[in-house]
Each structure stands twice: as structure tokens, then as C-alpha cells.
Structure 1
Amino acid sequence: MDKEEDLEALGEQIYAVICRKHKENAAKITGMLLELPVAVLSQMLQDEAMLNAALEKALRALQPAQEPRDEDDVSECSDSLGEQLFDLVEVYNTGHSQKITGMLLEQHKAAVLQLLSEPRLLEEQVKLALTMLKEQNEETDVSDSSEADDAERLGEKIYSLVEKMDPPHANDITGMLLEMDPSVLHQLLSDQTLLEAAVQKAQIALDAPN
């Protein structure tokens, strides 16, 4: 109990000293210094140079949370934030750490700093980003599968027509025709004359010596 009272008394004294020089960050800096042993804190109050050194160290620790002064600082600070955020996102082992980090870094800097200091908030944001990525992938998969279905149906229609013209070579000719652009294939299906010409061309290619 005595130690707690000593710590509280020291905290009040240190806060009073810091408040004169750094009023805005006095509470934060005092809290950081109070993590030091009581003996060290007592010595700080008697040794101004020692207290100033501790103050500078605490201020440097708080520096990343303040706005950078020029463009180089902005870039350097952003890179540092990105690395810190990536390391935290990597812990969740989503398999999409790079993408999720990129998504989170699109937020305002203050929001990113908040993510670094609040694990629960970061977890929520990671889950949300992961959900968005999965939805995007599903949309892509649906699009790809529908294109594949169209190509398959097109191939079946072409084959059924080619089989009537040249049953023995229907597979080979259909395969050759399917290398054409889908728009051309649709035209062949709607124009019998064009289809016959294309089939004849394929037959000549098949009959030609290797």
C-alpha cells in the first residue's frame, strides 16, 4: 500500500513538472514514466538532466502518432505503419495479408494508428476485409464459370452441325473451329453457308500432308 501511495505521490510531482513543458502530452508521458521503478522516479525528480533525457525518450516514442513535417517524413512514416500493420495482420494467417494490409492502409492515418493500438478493432477490420475479398473472388468465379458454360454450349452446337457434314472428322473439325473468336462462331451458327465454308477449310487443313 505504501508503494502505491509513493507511486501516486511521485506521479503527481512528475506530472506537475512535465505539465509546465509539455501540457498536451503530460498525462501520456507521466503514464509512460510511471512504468519505471520508484527509485528511478525519485532520482529523476532530483536530477533535471535525467528527467529531461527520459522526457525526450518518451516524446520520441509518441512521435509516430503525430503528423509528419514534410513529404519524406510522410513516406517514411507510411512505410513504417504499413510494416507494423502487415506484421499484425499476418498473425491472423488469412493467406491474404498483403491485400488486407493494402485495404486497411487506404483509411485515414488516424484510423490506421487506432488499428495498431486496438487489437479487437483490428480483428474486426481484418474479418471485414477478408469477407470483401471472398465476395470479390466469388463474383470472379461466377463470371469465369458462366464464360466456360457459354463456350461449352457453343462447342456442342457447332459439333452437332459439323457431325452432319463430316461424321468421321467431327471432333477434329469442331476443335479447329473452336479456336476462332466466339463472335465468329455465333456468326457460323446463324449462317449455314459460312459454316460450310469453314468446315471445308478445316477439312483441307486435315487432309494436307504434315
Structure 2
Amino acid sequence: MDENEDLETLGEQLYPLIYHKHQENAAKLTGMLLELPGPVLSQMLQDETLLSEALEKALRALQLAEEPSELTRKVEDGVSTSSDPLGEQLFELVDVYNTGHSQKITGMLLEQHQDAVLKLLSDSRLLDEQVKLALKTLEEQIVEETDVSDASDADDTERLGEKLFILVEEMDPLHANDITGMLLEMDPAALQQLLADGAMLEVAVHKAQAALQVALQAALQAPS
């Protein structure tokens, strides 16, 4: 199954869930969510809370894109504005992509001229291109930093483990060690995304808790 077929399948599964809550904008919202990475979409299909959060972000982005904002009207009327309101609106749109780097990408896009930023607020296709380009740049920077660093993989894993443990302990103090150990089996890039996205981390922790419960039940049922 190729990527287009995967997206089509995910879209067919997402649409009924979205239509149930947002009939008028179901098609647009489904299309917006299908811009997200496949693994994230798969998690949304399994986690109603994660899907609801993504839909809220998409709805805000849709409203900003379809309705001329007070900020845009002021600029069109020649009234000078600061970059803060622009940044807030742009962040709302960028956050829909759920990249785990919303703040950094927003900051990168805000380095452009104000007119260029305003175009991003009104042109979803242009914004999509700019977000993907910024994300690619960030990923390349991460790779370069990793290549330059002399730290061993074990040291990197230990640092990630320490950061993860602190977050996991807040969710499940009793099983924090076991869950952190399970999460550390993931790819480092995926771990970085978990550290940056609380919703994704919560989903991963719930899955680890379920796996631990299954393992515990199996151990209890095993013959002595």
C-alpha cells in the first residue's frame, strides 16, 4: 500500500469521527488533519482526547484563515502593529501540524517581513510549504548537531531517560522506571518528539501501562 492509499484509508476512518461533531466543516477539517504525519493520525484514531485537541487547533486555524482578523484589517488600513499579535495567530496555525516544534517554527517564520507573514495567515497552501521547509531545516540542524557531538549513544540515551523519567513519574509514579525503560526502546527522534509534545507522551505512557498490565497478568497466570 503506497502513501496515497494510506492517507485515503486514514481519511475514510477520520471523516465519520469528525462529521459526528463538526458536520459543516468535516471535509475541510479532515483535509487539514491529513497534513499531519501518519503515525500521529493513527494515534488520533485510537485516542479521542488527542483527536479532540487536534480538531480544536484545526478549527481555530480554519477560523483565522477564513475570517479577516482585526490585525489584518489594521495592516491593510496602514496601521502599524507589533509582531506579538502576528506571532499568536501564526502559532495557532503552525500548532495544527503537531510537529513538536511549533514555537521554533513560528519564530523562524516571524523572521520574514510582516507582509510575508500576513500572506501565511491567509494562504494555507503557502503556510504548508513554509512549515514543511522550516521543519526540514530544523531536522537538518538536529542531525548536524548530532554528528558534531562526541557524546556516545549511551550518554544521549541516559540524558533522554532522565528527562523522560521526570515527566513519566508525574503520570505514574509507581511504574515510572518500567515505563521509562519501555519508552527508551523507541527511536531517539521519536523520544525527542515525546519530550516536546505532552499529548503524544501521554498516549505513549497509556500504551506502556497497558503492556505492563498484560505482562503482569501473564506472569500471574503462568504455572509455578
TM-score category of the 2 structures, normalised to the smaller one: 0.3 to 0.5
Which of 1 and 2 has higher RCO (CA within 8 Å, sep 6+)?
2
